[in-house]
Amino acid sequence: MAIPSVDLSEFLSSDPARKAAFVQQLGKAYEEVGFVAVKNHGVPDQLIAELYEYVQQFFALPLEKKLHYEVPGLAGQRGYTSFGREHAKGSEAPDLKEFFQYGQTVENSDPIKSEYPDNVSVSEINQFNATLFNAYRNFEKSGTALLQAIALYLGLNENYFQPQLVNGNSILRCIHYPPITHEPKSAIRAEQHEDINLITLLVGASADGLQILTKHGEWVNVTSLPGEIVVNVGDMLQRLTNNKLCSTTHRVVNPARELWHTSRFSIPFFMHPRSEMSLACLENCINETHQKAYPDVIAGEYLDERLREIGLKK
């Protein structure tokens, strides 16, 4: 399935008509599918290539060295999380992956810094952390522009999300699905789930396997062209919009048997707001035919609940 494709340069242009057309195209795609492919997204190709290079170098390290970067008590929010530690909400089977997470770097005197643990520095790969930082800032910039367009589609001020995105709790997750060495119990590398956050930006997964569940109950492969970033709605945005924008169920399936010997690498950027942001359903998304579907909650409380549900937090 070729998901809808949008061109972010249209939104960033000085032409009001092109900008308005982008807003409608993006909004309708998120109502109908929940996923889009974004071209001219602003993240440099060279940076993406370097990011994947260093991430692959990290996961090639011996396990005992990777375990040095697994920090107890952080619920996987910084540093390394070893194979089989996370499972999808509602599933007891662990996902077939290991990952490394890099979070916000507060560079001013914002008191929210006290909420965030320090990022974990990897000493074996010189440019690893610097590249993650640069990628984080680039994804943050692209994601902010997309959320400006979403705000306009929802009839809000273009900068509605902006105060909650400054020093937000976004996460850059570097995932490795190792080769399959024996008959797996499941055909699923990452069980079906919905993302927790506002939007997710996924750049250039190294192998096929991503599938989404259509509104007709069918699993279809997601394809995008080289140079595009796949961006999907998360549960926080679905909740905020009272189900107007849909957080689509997706999964990662195992490759064909002849490709079991291969790894899969994936680097999603989970765009989160500050913890105090209210996720109460927007008033203009509630009407007689769409009654309020969710109780009020703030983003930090919602994230904490979900981390417990997926096994990362006790």
Classify residue 42: in a domain, yes or no.
Answer: yes
pLDDT of residue 259: 74
pLDDT of residue 152: 98
Half-sphere exposure of 180 (CA within 13 A, CB side): 19
Number of domains in the chain: 1
Task: Work out the angle between the directed axes of helices 128-153 and 16-32 (0-180°, nearest 10).
Answer: 100
Contacts of 287 (CB under 8 A, 6+ apart): none
Residue 157, token pair as written in the block: 């001020």
Contacts of 78 (CB under 8 A, 6+ apart): 71, 101, 102, 103, 117, 118, 119, 120
Which of 311, 279, 307 lies closest to 292, judged by CA?
A: 279
Range of the domain at 107: 5-309
Classify residue 314: in a domain, yes or no.
Answer: no
Comparing 154-168, 203-217, 259-273, 279-293, the range with the smallest average pLDDT is 203-217
Residue 78, token pair as written in the block: 């910084």
Classify residue 168: in a domain, yes or no.
Answer: yes
Classify residue 293: in a domain, yes or no.
Answer: yes
Residues 69, 236, 199, CA angle at the centre, nearest 5°? 65
Classify residue 294: in a domain, yes or no.
Answer: yes
Taking residues 166-188, what's their average pLDDT? Answer: 81
Classify residue 280: in a domain, yes or no.
Answer: yes
Classify residue 256: in a domain, yes or no.
Answer: yes
Q: Which residue has the higher pLDDT, 206 or 25?
A: 25
Can you give the CATH number for the domain in which 264 is found?
Answer: 2.60.120.330
